[in-house]
Amino acid sequence: MTQTLTLKDRDLFWPPADELTEAAERIRARLGDWPPTHAPWRICLTAPDEPNGGDLIVIADAQQHGEQVARWLVRGAGVIEAAEDKATLHLGGEKYRLEGHLAEDWVAALAAFLDCGFDPHDALVLALAWRDGDETRADDAFPADLSHFPRLAGLPDALAQAFPRCPDRLGLYPVLPTAEWVERVVGFGVKTVQLRRKSSEPAEELKREIARCVAVGRQHDAQVFINDHWQAALEAGAYGVHLGQEDVHTADLAALAAGGVRLGLSTHGFYEILRALHFRPSYIALGAVFPTTTKVMPTAPQGLRRLARYVRLLDGVVPLVAIGGIDLQVLPDVLATGVGCAAVVRAVTEAADPAAAVSALQQGFTR
């Protein structure tokens, strides 16, 4: 049972629209048990006199409202340009361009997904995945058919051939800070690891570190991924590289594919999942599942409920990796979502006995 149906207790739409509110409540009731958001959003079908930072102003053509749009954005509001089968969200200096079906109830669906706590760009993706009447077909009508999801416009062309696919269930995936750690953990029998070096070390030292990792991977028949440093990884003949969302625009993906390098991509929500799928990677990382101190995250923790939704949507489509704040205590809950791989950092590198920690984590995948 949904925790809250308090949509009528606040201004969801401008101008107020009882029918839209009722439709949003019907949809929200079928989306599952999501904690209500406290974000002060409002969907404006007519521009308000004084937009605020929570407003999403829906218009048909941004060019016709050029100066107004600029003022709205400066005030912190978002603008959704929606017409025919296209919707573009202008927010925070970014443009999120989507192409797909706009159901008659798409605005009500957008309100329902915003109330579930999804950021505007992810809520808009889900609203375009919505189909009129979905709320009548199941107790849980959350979008789970990838063919219904919108396409992202304005992306670079994808490669003609997908990157080599990783095993569907990669298992334990330690992310490690040095080649010494990689050698140590691979020696414990781990078959998938990642070198993530964030220091500004000299290029030659970095290349030596990567070469050591590649060598130990070949020696132990392990799959070693290199984070970020794709050029050095390619030169060293690494098994794979792991990149962030921003890196796909600067890395030479064609050269990586030609070199037979596997590609893993980070994602932090539905919009970024669609962007990652466009580039046909070897696996997609989903996170951060829990709070983490190992890096500054661009989004709030996703949590197990969202992870389960991602797995349900993408199972069989691409191998998946859960990442972020995962340790032995929460590993059973993570694996219960159906994900076949969990990346860990501190659960290994800060363990009093790393060998014992690795053994316990590996056993978690066999239960």
Instruction: Give the model confidence (pLDDT) of 207-223 as tens digits.
Output: 999 999 999 999 999 99
Annotated binding site: 194-198, 227-228, 247, 266, 292-295, 325
Task: Show Cβ contacts of residue 279 under 8 Å, excluding neighbours closer than 6 positions.
Answer: 158, 159, 163, 248, 253, 263, 265
> What is the mean predicted confidence (pLDDT) over 290-296?
79
Domains and CATH numbers, the chain: 7-152 (no CATH), 171-364 (3.20.20.70)
User: ∠323-242-339 over CA atoms, to 5°?
Assistant: 35
Average pLDDT over residues 112-139: 94
Angle 64-70-75 from CA coordinates, rounded to 5°: 135
Q: What is the pLDDT of residue 3?
A: 45
Decide if 216 contacts 207 (C-beta within 8 A). no
Give the per-residue pLDDT at 297: 67
Question: What residue numbers does the annotated binding site for Mg(2+) cover?
Answer: 228, 247
User: 236 pLDDT exceeds 80?
Assistant: yes
- Alpha-carbon distance 176 to 153, whole Å? 35
In whole numbers, what is the pLDDT of the chain averaged over residues?
93
Check residue 198 and give its pLDDT. Answer: 78
Please state, in angstroms and rounded to a whole number, the distance separating the CA atoms of residues 173 and 341: 7
Query: Is the pLDDT confidence value at 2 over 70?
Result: no
311: confidence class by pLDDT, cuts 50, 70, 90: very high
Average pLDDT of span 165-169: 95
Confidence of residue 85 (pLDDT cuts 50, 70, 90): very high
Q: What is the pLDDT of residue 1?
A: 37
- Percentage of the chain modeled with pLDDT above 70: 96
The length of the chain in residues reads: 367
Q: What is the pLDDT of residues 132-147, one digit of tens each?
A: 999 998 778 999 999 9
Q: How many CA atoms lie within 13 A of 261 on its CB side?
A: 31
Distance CA 127, CA 111 (A): 9
Helices (H) and strands (E) in the chain, counts: 13, 15
Which pLDDT score, from 0 to 100, does residue 296 have?
A: 67
What's the confidence (pLDDT) of residue 8? 60
CA distance 135 to 101: 17
Task: Please state, for a pLDDT cut of 90, what percent of the chain lies above it.
Answer: 83
Q: At what angle are helices 270-278 and 120-129 packed, to 10 degrees?
A: 70
Q: What average pLDDT does range 158-182 have in this prediction?
A: 96
Segment 347-358 shows an average pLDDT of 98
Which tokens hold the place of 123?
């809520």
Q: What mean pLDDT do residues 326-341 have?
A: 98
Rounded mean pLDDT, 332-338: 98
Where do we find the tokens 């799959």?
A: 223
Q: What are 109's two structure tokens?
A: 């669906």
Residue 140's pLDDT is what? 86
pLDDT reading at 31 higher than 60: yes
Please give the Cα distance from 286 to 301 (Å, whole number): 10
The DSSP bridge partners found for residue 361 are none
Helices (H), the chain: 18-28, 66-74, 106-115, 120-129, 179-187, 203-220, 230-236, 253-258, 270-278, 303-314, 331-335, 346-349, 354-364
